[in-house]
Chains A and B, each alone.
Chain A
């Protein structure tokens, strides 16, 4: 019941509206994320990472298999009540201010504007956004928008964080801040699924890595074992996904 995420024999296929041709993106994958566990979900571009995340979030209907969030099928709306999601690109309403954005995402979890801002207060301070509360989203840089994204992902005090390229567009200082905040969340028992191309970040944050290639899981290893074997995540990733070709 309390297991944040169980994916059981999930397959995802897209069908072309014109030709009817079926393209398999994910083929029969299964894994579980336990409370407090941080899992790096890795793969080359087009490997199916974002499709898996979208299936978890109910944005695409999986072809077959099941996804369970805290014991509830992911197709149910209430299954997403304990999830925090940070997308790869900042997809916020451009004409809203930072304050309105935070209040809006809080309201989706039935939080009043005051409650949302109260919850976001510490994060706003830490992420240097407290002076930008009345700035419109469209005036912010990509890095600042990503900070707003992290705040909205944490507004409901989630038990499972799904982060798609969380460090995209961040300067080194902001990356350090993000990592610190995420480590604190992990210490609180929040489970995390992080999709990223920056392998050292995954090594620093995650205690497990899943590598997906050719639509299937090719490796599911914990960082401890990897370290004991004196193997880096990059070596493992390259051996699975193949060397970079010019």
Chain B
């Protein structure tokens, strides 16, 4: 019984996100910025290739994570505000299944954009340079894991706070911290930062997701392939971190009253 219900709820979440129109906006912005970068990147033949690949992968990451964070920050608040949740949870639907469908829906929507933009980037590079760069597609796995972690983080924050703006802001801070965790570690090791800041940075270091490990854009730009072990590690890490966040959000969400 749960499978059909979970599938239906996940499908509805994806439809709501995709029909919301923001995905088209992200795609058009991505294309516009990529064309602009191409125009400004024509310094030399060799450099143009790097600029397109680097900027294209960067834009793809930005678009996918922007969709994930915006959907993750708003979907729960919207469901509560528009009271869709009332009609769903009044059926034999567990809060676990409800929350899981939101997580899957947000993640899969991001995955659709992730694959579309990576394929579009490969085609764009082919059109300009006349050579296929299928290695760029490896980034879809790493970005998918980053998207999963961010979707789970957003749901956790959304189960604690009701304001989408606040959820979005905290999620962006988590993303920035996660991407710069190696710098924070280096700062902790290199400098005497004072006991209070040291404790704060240590807390950030231990709690925030290690998103910098999933960022392989620079390597791919210069055709450095991640190892199979790195890909496996990214997959295990992504699912583990997202599961931990999901369990915490479920704990909070299950105790919540919808007055």
Contact = CB atoms under 8 A, between A and B. Distances in A.
Question: Which of B4, B92, B93, B259 is the most central at the interface, judged by chain A CB atoms within 10 Å of its CB?
Answer: B92
B94 A91 contact: no
B86 A87 contact: yes
A108 B88 contact: yes
Interface in B58-90: 82-84, 86-90
B16 A93 contact: yes
B12 interface: yes
A217 B89 CA distance: 27
B258 A108 contact: no
Contacts of B82: 91
Contacts of B12: 93, 96, 104
Contacts of A103: 8
A108 B8 contact: yes
Contacts of B91: 80, 85, 105, 108-109, 156
Nearest to B1: A110
Contact of B93 (A60, A87, A108): A108
Interface stretch (A50-58, A186-194, A202-210, A228-236): A50-58
A81 interface: yes
Contact of A91 (B1, B7, B84, B259): B84
A59 B8 contact: no
Contact of A54 (B1, B16, B94, B259): B259
B58 to A, nearest CB: 31
B122 to A, nearest CB: 31
Contact of B87 (A58, A79, A81, A105): A105
Contacts of B92: 77-81, 108-109
A87 B258 contact: no
Contacts of A105: 87, 91
B84 A93 contact: yes
A60 B85 CA distance: 12
Contacts of A78: 92
A123 B5 CA distance: 23
Interface residues of B, number: 27
B5 A77 contact: no
A83 interface: yes
A61 interface: yes
Interface string B1-43: 1001101110010011001100000000000000000000000
A107 B7 contact: yes
Nearest to A149: B87
B192 interface: no
A80 B90 contact: yes
A93 to B, nearest CB: 6
Contacts of B19: 95
Contacts of A109: 5, 91-92
B252 to A, nearest CB: 13
Interface of A: 14, 51, 54, 57-61, 77-81, 83, 85, 87, 89, 91-93, 95-96, 100, 103-105, 107-110, 112, 152, 156, 162
Interface of B: 1, 4-5, 7-9, 12, 15-16, 19-20, 82-84, 86-94, 255, 257-259
12 contacts: A54-B259, A77-B93, A80-B93, A85-B90, A85-B91, A87-B87, A91-B82, A91-B83, A93-B12, A95-B16, A107-B4, A110-B5
